[in-house]
Amino acid sequence: MNGADGPILNDDEIKHSILNPIGTQRISELAKGKETVVIVVDDMTRTTPISRIIPHVLEALEEASISIDQITILLALGAHKPMNRQDCILKLGKDVVNTINIENHHPYENLTNLGESKIGTPIEVNSTYVDSDLKISIGGVIPHPLAGFGGGAKNVLPG
């Protein structure tokens, strides 16, 4: 994990950054008392090293007494193809795939209507995301030739 000119972070630095965020509460504090957690991750077309990040996020959730069965990983596919088991293992790691519920986002199914935009466009968001008590998004933000930037908020909409 590195920026354009930044150093590559090792696993201890990644863990420290996740467990000691700047400008917000720790994940373990945000998760206290929550019943359901969704972790949105970008798909195989993005280079975000999710398998190096997610174990530390899960550790923080465990500190808040969140069990594995309370967590869903939602794959933010946008307009890309669904990820199969092998894709998930490459992106998330085998241990995560074998223990946590994983869902591919589908652009026409399992959606909640949140209203309309100012110009009347329906705003529909993945229901697993909407219904979760705590929402965590992991992904990179990169230049995109058509959208300006990819990642970030695009993990939620278009999903």
Catalytic residue set = 80, 144
**Whether the predicted pLDDT of 150 surpasses 90:** no
User: pLDDT tens digits for 73-88?
Assistant: 999 987 778 999 999 9
pLDDT of 53 reads: 95
pLDDT top residue among 112 and 151 = 112
Q: CA-based angle 22:57:23, to the nearest 5?
A: 10
Which residue ranges make up each domain of the chain?
Answer: 11-155
Backbone angle region of 145, left / alpha / beta, with phi > 0 → left and psi within -120 to 50 → alpha: alpha
User: pLDDT tens digits for 90-133?
Assistant: 999 999 999 999 999 998 999 999 999 999 999 999 999 999 99
Q: Is the pTM above the cut of 0.85?
A: yes
CATH tag, 11-155: 3.40.50.11440
Beta strands in 98-151 (DSSP E): 101-104, 111-116, 122-126, 134-138, 141-144, 148-151
Distant-in-sequence, close-in-space partners of 108: CB < 8 Å, separation ≥ 6: none
